[in-house]
């Protein structure tokens, strides 16, 4: 049961990552009013990827902990 919840949470994170990636690459102006060029979009995307890599590391650590308990 716990691993099923773990998979559901990962699907949730994947959906959030996909939606945010689409938003980053389709917007023309960000919230501060700055026009988005290719380089600023890539910087925003790299920041998003770094955040999600940290989340993946945390998720893998939690999975290791849950599997070890069983």
Question: 64 pLDDT band (50/70/90 cuts)?
Answer: confident
**Domain segments of the chain: what residues?**
2-69
Taking 60 as the threshold, does the pLDDT of residue 56 lie above it?
A: yes
Describe the crossing of helices 2-26 and 38-69 by its angle, rounded to 10 degrees: 180
pLDDT digits (tens, 9 = 90+) for 1-41: 567 887 888 899 999 999 999 999 999 888 888 888 999 99
Check: CB of residue 40 under 8 Å from CB of residue 34.
Answer: yes
């Amino acid at each position: 049961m716990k691993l099923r919840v773990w998979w559901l949470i990962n699907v949730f994170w994947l959906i959030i990552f996909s939606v945010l990636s689409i938003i980053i690459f389709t917007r023309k102006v960000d919230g501060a009013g700055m026009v988005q060029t290719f380089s600023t979009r890539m910087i925003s995307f790299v920041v998003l990827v770094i955040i999600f890599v940290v989340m993946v590391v945390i998720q893998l650590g939690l999975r290791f902990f849950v599997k070890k308990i069983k």
